């Protein structure tokens, strides 16, 4: 999970469309390996998006979200040059935060 979260934020008039691709294995805990043993659950639990330091999006996820999840949302009032940050925490305590400027 060392790869950064890919964030593309584009201004469109008086709003910005934010597209996010998070690099995470996202194991549900229900899959078995080749030996028949269950693979331990490992998934993102909390997602937080901020715009210039203000929280604009939060989500609580579970094991049903796919590997390397994709997320898209719109921020009204955003403009080019503003900063968008995405943070997540998984069920093992790992965290990641990445930031991008709106173009």
Please tell me the predicted confidence (pLDDT) of residue 2.
57
Domain positions in the chain: 6-29+41-101
Query: pLDDT tens digits for 48-57?
Result: 999 999 999 9
Average pLDDT for 9-29: 94
Query: pLDDT tens digits for 66-93?
Result: 999 999 999 999 999 999 999 999 999 9
CA distance 10 to 57: 17
pTM, full prediction: 0.87
CATH topology of domain 6-29+41-101: Immunoglobulin-like (2.60.40)
Residue 1 has pLDDT above 80, yes or no: no
């Amino acid at each position: 999970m060392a790869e950064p979260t890919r964030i593309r934020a584009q201004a469109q008039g008086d709003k910005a469309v934010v597209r996010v691709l998070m690099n995470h294995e996202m194991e549900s805990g229900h899959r078995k390996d080749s030996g028949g043993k269950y693979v331990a659950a490992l998934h993102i639990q909390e997602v937080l998006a901020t715009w210039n330091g203000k929280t604009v999006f939060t989500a609580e996820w579970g094991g049903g979200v796919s590997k390397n999840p994709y997320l898209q949302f719109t921020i009204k009032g955003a403009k080019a040059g503003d900063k968008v940050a995405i943070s997540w925490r998984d069920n093992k305590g790992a965290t990641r935060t990445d930031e991008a400027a709106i173009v």
